[in-house]
Amino acid sequence: MTSFRTAPPATVLVAAVLLGSLSATPLPGETRPGAQRDQNRIVSEIRQIQTQLATLVEAQAALAQAVEALLADREEQLTADRQSRAETMNTLERMERSVATLSEAFRDTNERLSALMVEVESVREAQRRAALLGGGPGEADDTALPEGEEAGAPEVAAQDESSPEQDSGEEEATVLDEPSVSEIYLQADSDYLQGRYDLAFTGFERVVDLGGELADNARYFMGECRLAQDRLDDALEQFVSVIEDFPESSKIGEAWYKRGLILGRMGHESDAREIFEDILDVFAGTTAARLAQRELDAMPPRDPGR
């Protein structure tokens, strides 16, 4: 049983006063034995009430401590949940960026492999042409010597500077020494990867001028060179050229994305948002669409008044 000492001081004082009064004074109008019994009963009831009160006070204190502990645990849990969600979002964002980077690197690798295949075919073609120039069947018929002439005669003729055949051979040799379009592209790509953006831009520009299957990629990377140099106006011009001049290019979606990205950097947020939203519709499921969605998520909410 809980003692009086565990109850609040006021409760103990009241109980003590009541018990002292009851023990000293009999109830009026009753005999001493009857009054004593009632007094004892009242004292017993007061003690029971005091004991119950002390128990309730202790229960209330314990409940308050339990509530405070639950609130503290809940707050810690909420804080941990917020941190966990933030870390998860950061991890997902990093993974998305890594996937986008890997996808772009994969496409670039495929493009380089295609360029190398073009280069190999160009080398084979050059070898076939060299074989023909060096003594194919047609050339043998044209240069056959009359019977009885010595083999040194053609060398003498070859030394004649005014000979048209010699001029033609020199021009053909010069053509063979020129680098192929794929070689120019690969060198420009190497310059771009090593941060030599002006050299890379010149190389890609030459590929565009020569034309062919690599022209659209070269134009796109001309824009990348200028974007890396923070020359936004020039970069925007190159990406717009990809969109307008090479509508069937594999780089068309990325060119649109870079166009929106540059417009956003220039402060044209409304135009950039519109481009990103169009990319989600036209190029759904592509890397360009995922990058566009990331940019839209980073933008502030659209103003309802606009």
Instruction: State the pLDDT at residue 38.
Output: 82
- Tens of pLDDT, residues 82-114: 877 777 777 776 777 667 666 666 676 766 676
Average pLDDT of the chain, as a whole number: 77
Class of residue 272 by CB neighbours under 10 A (exposed 0-12, middle 13-18, buried 19+): buried
* High-pLDDT (> 90) share of the chain, %: 40
Is residue 60 included in any domain, yes or no? Answer: yes
Task: List the structure tokens of 66.
Answer: 């339990």
Q: Which residues contact 200 (CB under 8 A, 6 or more apart)?
A: 188, 189, 191, 192, 221, 225
Whether 9 is in a domain gets the answer yes
Cα–Cα distance, 22 to 25 (Å, whole number): 5
Residue 229: its pLDDT value, please? 96
Would you say residue 271 lies in a domain? no
In a domain, 39, yes or no: yes
What confidence score (pLDDT) does residue 153 get? 41
AA identity, residue 175: V
Task: Tell me the residue range of the domain where 19 lies.
Answer: 4-24+34-76
Task: For residue 88, tell me if it sits in a domain.
Answer: no
What secondary structure does DSSP assign to 16-83, as a single string? HHHHHHHHHSPPTTS-HHHHHHHHHHHHHHHHHHHHHHHHHHHHHHHHHHHHHHHHHHHHHHHHHHHH
What pLDDT is recorded for position 167?
53
DSSP string, 227-264: HHTT-HHHHHHHHHHHHHH-TT-TTHHHHHHHHHHHHH
Q: Which one has a higher pLDDT value, 85 or 63?
A: 63
Distance CA 189, CA 177 (A): 21
What pLDDT is recorded for position 271? 95
Say how many domains are in the chain: 1
At 240-297, the pLDDT tens digits run 999 999 999 999 999 999 999 999 999 999 999 999 999 999 999 999 999 999 999 9
pLDDT band at 6 (very low <50, low <70, confident <90, very high): very low
Q: Residues 13-32: what's their mean pLDDT? A: 54
- Establish if 139 belongs to a structural domain: no
Which of 122-136, 151-165, 218-232, 234-248 is the least confident region?
Answer: 151-165
Domain assignment present for 51: yes
What's the N-to-C CA distance of the chain in angstroms? 75
Radius of gyration of the chain (CA): 47
pLDDT tens by residue, 149-184: 444 444 434 444 444 445 554 554 444 567 899 999
Q: Which residue has the higher pLDDT, 269 or 132?
A: 269
The answer to whether position 52 is within a domain reads yes
Mean pLDDT of the region 135-158: 42
